[in-house]
Amino acid sequence: GNSVTQMEGPVTLSEEAFLTINCTYTATGYPSLFWYVQYPGEGLQLLLKATKADDKGSNKGFEATYRKETTSFHLEKGSVQVSDSAVYFCALSDHGSARQLTFGSGTQLTVLP
């Protein structure tokens, strides 16, 4: 079956530090890959996505590249801000599974001023 493995948190960084949150996946077929963000007290919001190998998703300074050879979709940001503090979820959608999402366990990021 499908699965998503994320690096365990929590992750605490100082403002302007470089961020990497690792994500690897197992899936049949050719999944689409997503990063969702959940700010405190809010619902999940799509941060970025990639639908095929070597695609790079980017948004708000975050980016992730779909690496089929390593089955990875690591999230990166060059300079984090306090407002980036949230829980980040890596997820995949298998084309054969009626668009259900399989989520990783989430990574809590705290950015200190």
Partner 1 sequence: GAVVSQHPSRVICKSGTSVKIECRSLDFQATTMFWYRQFPKKSLMLMATSNEGSKATYEQGVEKDKFLINHASLTLSTLTVTSAHPEDSSFYICSAPLQIPGPFWEADTQYFGPGTRLTVL
* Residues of the shown chain interacting with partner 1 in the complex, contacts defined by CB under 8 A: 32, 34, 36, 42-46, 49-51, 89, 93, 95-96, 98-106, 108
Q: How far is the CB of 62 from partner 1 (least distance, A)?
A: 16
- Least distance in angstroms from the C-beta of 79 to partner 1: 26
State in angstroms the smallest separation of the CB of 15 from partner 1: 24
Q: Which is nearer to partner 1, 50 or 75 (CB)?
A: 50
Of 18 and 41, nearer to partner 1 (C-beta) is: 41
Ranges of beta strands (E only) in 1-113 are 3-6, 11-14, 19-21, 23-26, 32-38, 44-50, 56-59, 62-65, 75-77, 86-93, 101-103, 107-112
Q: Which is nearer to partner 1, 80 or 104 (CB)?
A: 104
Burial class (CB in 10 A: 0-12, 13-18, 19+), 28: exposed
Closest CB to partner 1 among residues 83, 105: 105
Torsion of CA 49, 55, 56, 59, to 10 degrees: -30
Least distance to partner 1, CB of residue 16, Å: 27
Joined tokens for residue 13: 């960084």
